A and B are shown apart, each in its own frame.
Chain A
């Protein structure tokens, strides 16, 4: 098992380096540079632009720029082009803001889609199955910001709860219970909206996995033994249907990070996605590249853990 883990880690490191090279070349080869963000500014003289290009190493060949970026990233001295603040603390702070969103969204996705999918599979073709199918497709098909705007309007108008931002301004003096509830409302709405598409996809996947397993011989045998339906479904069928979901864990991460750009923008949530959006607007290459790098590293870590878990959960698989 250890040689496998070691080899796997090494492969992933190589992948990570390739990802960073591709991201770096894409960002640098595309037209548009940090020095051109504000060409209309009359105080920008040609010599200033030369100074800026020099300070950011923009005139060096690409591989040197890559080397500078990697060196600064690994020594933790990477500075943002925009405000010369160190990049890593900046990203870390925003990441901590986004983390509760990711966690709550993931929890919502996994707790809602399993019961929905299992029930739809057991009662295949029933009204319940058909209506959840339809609702799931509607949720995948609606533009995220369209639905979010409608839900925000509804929540604000009918429930009278403000949901934009991380907390309501001016609540600092309130009782802790009120502040806590306020935080929960602000957290739940964006998490729920970014989870909706995930719920729809995952519940469909649970349904098809369950259908596959329910048709197997060992499930029929379990029924023939006279076991009650709950034992058959949850002990015999569900356990076997669960296996592929171990791998889904790793692949859900890039979607959450990418999706956070939209939902953090809608809900004015000061997280990683908005930092990335602002960085793109101001051509802040170090921040863009580092967010991309961290997202790729997280994805690789996620799929690595999935691979190992797969072997732990499924005794038929031997790691070699």
Chain B
């Protein structure tokens, strides 16, 4: 009984159940105002992208494809011409963000592009994360296995990663995209296949550390199947840094797509992406500046939001910063 009386405050704090990692993460993340702003932008964007898919393809409320030659190069917020037949009129008779060189509604095209651009980012990152976790996990977990007595699995996979790191990535993407038939899926796949190296490297590092931890050794001692140990016990513990790099990877993929569009190898019509609206717009920078500035600023804001959220997550997951607070 005497023991309880000499507990000081520090020890009391220790006795309390610790905050769950997720709540702790959220507490730190929430204080980062830039990252929160980024998160809000991203949530709005996600809604916008799905709304866009619904409103431009399933029920055509905003039509991105109608060509109205009488109304080309209308500045934003201008009314539609009275010469147009009724079915070609934009919603409300007003071009919210103006029209392009064929009289297409830029607002509708930007909406459609938001879904396409985001899906390029997400699919490409999905592919690269999948390969990264697979190869990194294999190298980390089965690293000591020897193949043909020549080299270990670890050596094989990490040498291959080194090989991929030697390529000038953008040049490689450009080469492959230019040689393959132009298609939006090829672009997603190629970006995904050339950007998994970072993920593989730190999943391997995490796995090497986790493999020695008590809970994994205990799971092995219980005779759980390896499949279960890897996917249920180890991957969730190694996923945090992967999510950070995935967030930043989506940003990079959107930028890569716009760079490919600039060089003329981007997503081909009829798909509108922010990248190809921007690179089409660069020819009209004096006559119709909105065609250049609207997609440019949109890409800037969205990519910035992804980067800020990724960095906020990294800070909140950093154990050194956590202990200090």
Given known A137-B304, A149-B292, A261-B263, contact A143–B299 (CB-CB < 8 A): yes
Identify which of B3-11, B84-92, B174-182, B205-213 touches chain A.
B174-182
Main secondary structure of the interface of A (DSSP, over half): helix
Number of residues on chain B facing chain A (CB within 8 A): 41
Contact of B299 among A133, A137, A146, A251 (CB under 8 A): A146
Q: Number of contact residues on A: which range applies?
A: 35 or more
Contact of A261 among B163, B174, B307 (CB under 8 A): B174
Say yes or no: A31 contacts B169, CB within 8 Å: no
User: B311 at interface (Cβ–Cβ under 8 A)?
Assistant: yes
- Report chain A residues within 8 Å CB of B176: 26, 30
Say yes or no: A254 contacts B167, CB within 8 Å: yes
User: A249 at interface (Cβ–Cβ under 8 A)?
Assistant: no
Contact of B304 among A31, A141, A261, A276 (CB under 8 A): A141
Say yes or no: B307 contacts A295, CB within 8 Å: no
- Fill in one digit per residue for B162-198: 1 if any A CB lies within 8 Å of its CB, else 0: 1101111111101110111100000000000000000
Closest to A266 in B: B262
Say yes or no: B163 contacts A141, CB within 8 Å: no
B295-313 with Cβ < 8 A to chain A: 296, 299-300, 303-304, 306-308, 311
User: A140 at interface (Cβ–Cβ under 8 A)?
Assistant: yes
Closest to B304 in A: A141
User: A300 at interface (Cβ–Cβ under 8 A)?
Assistant: yes
- Fill in one digit per residue for A282-305: 1 if any B CB lies within 8 Å of its CB, else 0: 010000100110011001100000
- Fill in one digit per residue for A242-283: 1 if any B CB lies within 8 Å of its CB, else 0: 000000000100110111011001000000010011001101
Main secondary structure of the interface of B (DSSP, over half): helix
- Fill in one digit per residue for A172-213: 1 if any B CB lies within 8 Å of its CB, else 0: 000000000000000000000000000000000000000010
Say yes or no: A143 contacts B171, CB within 8 Å: no
Closest to A259 in B: B170
Given known A137-B311, A258-B170, contact A144–B259 (CB-CB < 8 A): yes
Say yes or no: A261 contacts B171, CB within 8 Å: yes
* 13 sample A-B contacts, Cβ–Cβ < 8 Å, listed by A number: A15-B159, A32-B178, A137-B308, A141-B251, A142-B303, A146-B292, A153-B285, A258-B171, A259-B170, A262-B170, A262-B262, A291-B171, A296-B168
Which 10 A-B pairs give the minimum distances between C-beta atoms?
Answer: A258-B170, A30-B179, A258-B168, A141-B303, A141-B304, A254-B168, A146-B296, A296-B166, A257-B168, A295-B168
Partner-A contacts on B (CB < 8 A)? 34, 159, 162-163, 165-172, 174-176, 178-181, 251, 255, 258-259, 262-263, 275, 278-279, 282, 285, 292, 296, 299-300, 303-304, 306-308, 311, 320
